[in-house]
Amino acid sequence: MKPVIFGLSGLTLTDDERAFYKDADAAGYILFKRNIENREQVRALTDSLRELTGRDELPILIDQEGGRVQRMQPPEWPQFPAGPDFDRLYDIAPMSAIEAARVNAQATALMLAEVGVNVDCWPLLDVSQRDTTEAITIRALGHEPMRVAAMGKAIMEGLRAGGVIGVVKHMPGHGRAVVDTHFHLPTVTASEEELEIDLEPFRRLADAPMGMTSHIVFQTWDPERPATMSPVIVEQVIRGKIGFDGLLMTDDIDMKALSGTAGEKAAGAIAAGCDIVLDCWGRMDEMQEIATLLNDMPAKSLERLDRAMATVRGVAPQGDFAELLAKRDELLALA
Average pLDDT rounded to a whole number, residues 102-125: 98
Q: Determine the angle formed by the axes of helices 145-161 and 192-204, rounding to 10 degrees.
A: 30
- Nearest CA to 157 among 319, 322, 335, 271? 319
pLDDT tens, 87-106? 999 999 999 999 999 999 99
Kindly report the CATH number assigned to the domain that includes residue 235. 3.20.20.300
pLDDT of 167 higher than 90: yes
User: Over the chain, what is the mean pLDDT?
Assistant: 97
Can you give the pTM of this predicted structure? 0.97
Range(s) of the domain holding residue 80: 2-332
In single-letter form, the type of residue at position 310 comes to A
Q: What is the pLDDT of residue 141?
A: 98
The answer to whether the CB of 122 falls within 8 A of the CB of 106 is: no
Q: What is the pLDDT of residue 183?
A: 87
Query: What 3-state class would DSSP assign to 34?
Result: helix
pLDDT tens, 9-32? 999 999 999 999 999 999 999 999
Task: Calculate the dihedral angle through the C-alpha atoms of 113, 115, 118, 122, rounding to the nearest 10 degrees.
Answer: -90
pLDDT tens, 172-194? 999 999 998 998 999 999 999 99
Average pLDDT rounded to a whole number, residues 79-83: 98
Q: What is the pLDDT of residue 257?
A: 87
The answer to whether the CB of 162 falls within 8 A of the CB of 103 is: no
Q: What are phi and psi of 223, to 5 degrees?
A: -75, -5
Q: Which residues pair with 166 in a beta bridge?
A: 120
Greatest extent of the chain over all pairs of C-alpha atoms, in Å = 54
Active-site residue set:
182, 251
pLDDT tens, 229-251? 999 999 999 999 999 999 999 99
Q: Work out how many domains the chain is built from and give that number.
A: 1
Distance of alpha carbon 325 from the chain centroid: 23
